[in-house]
Chains A and B, each alone.
Chain A
């Protein structure tokens, strides 16, 4: 390896500077991954835009360009606006609910399990366990537990006096709640572990100093713990937000979008348009809209919260 050194005078001293190099070998090591990523993520976005200007059906290989017809359909047609606004609303409700459950209960459990003894470590591992199991399998388990006539949850509710069996999955209002229960159970352990490792990183000095000044536990939580956890909360918020917006598995297994589209989230709607209605063109328009929403909300969350997050601990 030849090293060409450039000599420069900086502040009266002679400094040797190695010029910027270009190694083809390094370039070729990065190339396969970058190329594949471009091919399987960026190129499909361009394709989506192209398909959105065609009348492509799943069942045929020929298609025409139809201009803004699909975009017109998206924003004006009665069927689209009804289903679209419905799926948007359901997705937003689900996302808000899921973030509240995962982060809220996760933070509570992080405090409850904040002991570094063996029994607590074992219990934490057990609570984390659902995370390893496919959501589709968890969905079947909950489908069974929430079964109206034979489900164990309704039978346990009998013990406390709820003799009327609750229709968890067939009822307009309960269906989404059932899905929230399932995904909450699946995700809480992860949030707990992340919050706990952040809690352990906070110096004890803050709590000792503040309790000398007479701060109560609640005040300590409000003015020390919460601000110092804000980077963790931001991280969990964004990851949970994105995964909630993408929700599909749990809905597909538990309710299939029903009853009466009451759990038809965005991805489910896109899937239905593409593979049940065979309308690749319309599905593409909705997918693009979904993508833009994802990008906008993530970007604005980062912008807004970056000002309010305390990175120094």
Chain B
């Protein structure tokens, strides 16, 4: 060891360490990205390439018909529409109700404010996996099974969103609000024209979290939607794994094509808001 230290200067040593770090980091990244690469590569292969004894890393001829197979086998665009509608409903109600409640909890004055906020925080401790049986019974009784509203209702308010928005609103100085009130703006005006624009980064974080939660939701839609035509994408894509008779199939090139199609919207959002998403997710944790 001491010999080595004498031979290699501290500067060179540091450089070697950084090179090793970079190589290790690239290796880890390759391993982590590989499943997604494999999803793409498989989706473009023929059945023979998928079921061959040797690994084909990239298809010889790109098989676009895998995608048309998926679209024809299941009502793919209907699934996508269902998912989009439910996600849009969920995003708008989470944001609207969240903003209103967060204003009341940060700047509002009313008795029971503390108790109400505790109710909101406590709801975070009660996951849908505990409450789904009574919820299922309630939804069935009011006739909302297999409807957008039935899927929406379980995620229409997020206590997490209220919590994040309240944190953001609390940082807005009261002087802004008083100035606006003096100018004759009413409460809703103050809220939506002053506070919401001032807390834009948190708004984006909450909206993106709601989008992800809605688009990737699986458990509740699976419980509440029993009609195939009303499936959301996450549940509907699973149908590609079974034949018409219900047997498990091995047509993985087509299954992967379906999965790939279903996650493209997420990647588009990811590409547009990439910066916001990374900082948003981590910022939320630091609160």
Contact = CB atoms under 8 A, between A and B. Distances in A.
Partners in one complex: yes
Interface of A: 1, 20-27, 29-30, 32-34, 36-38, 40-45, 47-48, 51, 109, 112-113, 115, 119-120, 123-138, 140-142, 144-145, 147, 150, 152, 155-156, 185, 188-190, 193-194, 197-198, 232, 235-236, 239, 242, 246, 248-249, 252-253, 267, 270-271, 274-275, 280, 283-284, 287-288, 290-291, 294-295, 298
Contacts of B105: 30
A132 B278 CA distance: 11
Contact of A185 (B32, B130, B266): B32
A294 B108 contact: no
Nearest to B182: A1
B195 interface: no
B25 interface: yes
Interface of B: 21-22, 24-26, 28-29, 32-33, 35-36, 38-39, 42, 50-52, 54-55, 97-98, 100-101, 103-105, 107-113, 116, 119-120, 122-123, 125-127, 129-138, 153-154, 156-157, 159, 162, 181, 187, 212, 215-219, 222-223, 233-235, 237-238, 241, 250, 252, 255-256, 259, 262-263, 266-267, 270, 274, 277-278, 281-282, 285-286
A125 B281 CA distance: 12
B129 A248 contact: yes
B21 A280 contact: no
Contacts of B24: 112
Contacts, number: 246
B255 A112 contact: no
| Best-buried of B29, B119, B130, B159 by chain A (most CB within 10 Å) | B130
Majority SS at the chain A contact face: helix
Nearest to A156: B55
Given A33-B98, A36-B97, A136-B218, 9 more contacts: A22-B111, A40-B135, A44-B133, A45-B134, A135-B216, A150-B50, A246-B127, A290-B129, A295-B125
B133 A51 contact: yes
